[in-house]
């Protein structure tokens, strides 16, 4: 006899099971702790006559799961959001200071994707001190020649202005390529789930000690250390992609992989190569 409903558990991973079950840990701590703090209410619930033993256990497990799930969404949402905002701010600061779009190798590689029509000036803007020296040299040469040759100074200024404008355009191209070569999101693993379960459980204990009569400085210390460690973990997990994006090497590697597998322009226009 075959069951009307079939369950395929072959593709179920340990991480998936942990994601489903881990709310039971903080939720169970909340329910058990609340039962100890308000033993009178717990006794009245388990003393209900028209509910069987398994029904009461089922209700307790359901309440524990809902409480744990709500706590997990609240804690992970708030703490993860704050850590993500801080990581985004730090990562943006690093990108603006490192200026990965000023990599000559990146510009030469990106030129193959942009095309000659849309490619700005590849040369980097010169240092301000070098520009100043070149202008002063051109002015001194023009003064020695009776004012002739000032166009050389204007040429230096025009080239520097063109390179500066091109640098802004290259920054925009880098941002566009960052959207094209999307950074892969980190996948959850068993260590992540254990860390999240410990983090939520620490908050469950903190809530019970705050509202309940039982306190211990050692438990407070342990809980806040767990919360601090979890926040640092979220911060580093969110900061790592931003740090990688602040370097041009990832985009260069992604573009080179595409260029290696793409036919060269000379091969496209060569009938002999197309026939072979």
Domain containing 210 equals 17-258
195 vs 233: CA distance, rounded Å: 9
Identify whether 267 is part of a domain. no
**Structure confidence by residue, pLDDT tens digits, 189-229:** 777 888 888 999 999 999 999 988 888 899 999 999 999 99
pLDDT of residue 8: 53
Predicted confidence band of residue 116 (pLDDT cuts 50, 70, 90):
confident
Identify whether 272 is part of a domain. no
pLDDT of residue 150: 65
Predicted confidence band of residue 6 (pLDDT cuts 50, 70, 90):
low
Identify whether 270 is part of a domain. no
Identify whether 266 is part of a domain. no
Predicted confidence band of residue 125 (pLDDT cuts 50, 70, 90):
confident
Q: Give the side-chain half-sphere CA count within 13 A for 102.
A: 14
How does DSSP classify residue 269? T
Identify whether 4 is part of a domain. no
Provide the number of structural domains found in the chain. Answer: 1
Tell me the C-alpha to C-alpha distance, in Å, between residue 169 and each of 127, 164, 173, 268.
Answer: 18, 9, 6, 30
pLDDT of residue 147: 59
* Average pLDDT across the chain, whole number: 82
Identify whether 63 is part of a domain. yes
The pTM of this model reads 0.68
227 vs 237: CA distance, rounded Å: 15
pLDDT of residue 264: 59
Nearest Cα neighbor of 173 from 93, 228, 108, 82 is 108
**Structure confidence by residue, pLDDT tens digits, 37-81:** 888 888 888 888 788 888 888 899 999 999 999 999 999 889 888
Q: What average pLDDT score do residues 123-136 get? A: 78
Predicted confidence band of residue 269 (pLDDT cuts 50, 70, 90):
very low
Identify whether 1 is part of a domain. no
Identify whether 246 is part of a domain. yes
């Amino acid at each position: 006899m075959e069951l009307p409903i079939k369950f395929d558990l072959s593709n179920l991973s340990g991480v998936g099971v942990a994601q489903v079950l881990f709310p039971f840990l903080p939720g169970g701590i909340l329910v058990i702790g609340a039962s100890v703090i308000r033993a009178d209410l717990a006794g009245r619930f388990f003393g209900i006559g028209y509910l069987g033993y398994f029904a009461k256990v089922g209700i307790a497990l359901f309440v524990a799961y809902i409480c744990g799930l709500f706590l997990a969404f609240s804690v992970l949402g708030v703490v993860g959001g704050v850590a993500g905002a801080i990581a985004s701010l730090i990562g943006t600061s690093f990108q603006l200071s490192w200026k990965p779009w000023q990599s000559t190798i990146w510009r030469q590689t990106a030129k193959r994707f942009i095309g000659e029509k849309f490619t700005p000036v590849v040369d980097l803007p010169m240092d301000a001190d070098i520009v100043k020296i070149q202008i002063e040299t051109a002015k001194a040469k023009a003064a020695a020649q009776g004012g002739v040759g000032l166009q050389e100074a204007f040429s230096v200024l025009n080239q520097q202005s063109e390179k500066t404008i091109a640098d802004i355009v290259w920054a925009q191209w880098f941002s566009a390529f960052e959207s094209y070569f999307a950074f892969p999101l980190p996948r959850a693993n068993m260590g992540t789930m254990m860390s999240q379960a410990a983090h939520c459980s620490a908050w469950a204990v903190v809530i019970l000690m705050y509202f309940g009569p039982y306190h211990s400085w050692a438990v407070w210390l342990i809980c806040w250390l767990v919360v601090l460690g979890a926040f640092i973990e979220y911060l580093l997990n969110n900061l790592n992609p931003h740090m990688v994006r602040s370097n041009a090497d990832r985009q260069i590697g992604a573009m080179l992989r595409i260029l290696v597998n793409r036919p060269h322009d000379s091969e496209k226009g060569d009938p002999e190569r197309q026939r072979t």
